[in-house]
Structure 1
Amino acid sequence: DGDCGIGLKRGADSVLQLISSDVETTDAAIFLGRIISVIETSMDGTSGAIYAIFLNALAAGLRSQSPDSGKKEVTTEVWAKAAKQALEGLGKYTPARPGDRTLVDALEPFIEQLAATNDLKKAAQAAKQGSDATKGMKASLGRSVYVGNEGFKEVPDPGAYGLSEFLTGLAEA
């Protein structure tokens, strides 16, 4: 219905504006907190809420995994552990699981692969595979449930696809 793409674009534009104008910080959790504030005010709908919940849990995970994150570089291993905690936190607020045709179909494989390999590129590839797997998948949660089954065979879930594209860009940066 176009709503997902509009929300993702608003969020991305707002984060880009923050990055270009924000005062730098070496503390990953503090910077993530700034991104969370932008996401909470710029992204509408369920996906905005899901991103906000996940990112808040990710920031909490970073603080618990690396309490002195402002004083040293946060390793991929710490990010992976924090992301696993965040996924568990997200699971308390949504029943979405892989196979439901939601952004979780890209998020969970990304986190699992990152935790297993500490390799951001491999994790992004896993997210893409998860997104691609939603093609033809019957939706059991999210807006796609109400839109109908037309086109599901050729098109991945919009939320999973958008997240997969973001994670691919992050891995290539």
Structure 2
Amino acid sequence: MADAAFSGDGKYYSALTHDGRLRIWDTETNILKQEYTPDLHLTAPPLCLQWISVTQSVSPQKGARRKSFSDNATQAIALGTTSGKILLYSVTQGKVETVLVDQKNHIHNKVKSLDWHRKYGLLSCTGDNGIQDWDLENATIRHRYKINVDNKSKQTSGISAIKIIPHTENLKQS
């Protein structure tokens, strides 16, 4: 299964090949800019990808609070693998900077889908009908959800995709 997506600004187009390689093209020049082959591309290939924006934290002086500057946001690609790991590939560095692993879920469930929103962050859905809300700064799961799927129709065996739909409705309490 191959997956593909444009970067948020439309400058790049990325695609996963059937053998697990990531390719990134510049959309203005139609030139292949980067190609990345994960170490585990044959045993646990990436199934899905999602462009994300990663804010680099600047370490302050001793005793001061840690600050994040949105000006330091860089583009990255989250790659969901069949082993349940999520690789965060830095487009600027041309390499995987972080590997996200669900430490509490020791059963390797493939990551079926990823979605990103600058306000809500990165979400993943896995083969065991789980949804994970990731804290990218700490490389941990913030929240975990289990989805019960009514399988009476036999047309589905579980969830296969996730999509963040931001709401703008202001809820007022009466």
TM over 0.5: no
TM-score category of the 2 structures, normalised to the smaller one: under 0.3
Q: Report the TM-score when normalising by structure 1.
A: 0.25
Larger helix proportion of the pair: 1
Larger RCO (CA within 8 A; separation ≥ 6): 1
TM-score of the superposition, structure 2-length normalised? 0.25
Bigger radius of gyration among the two: 2
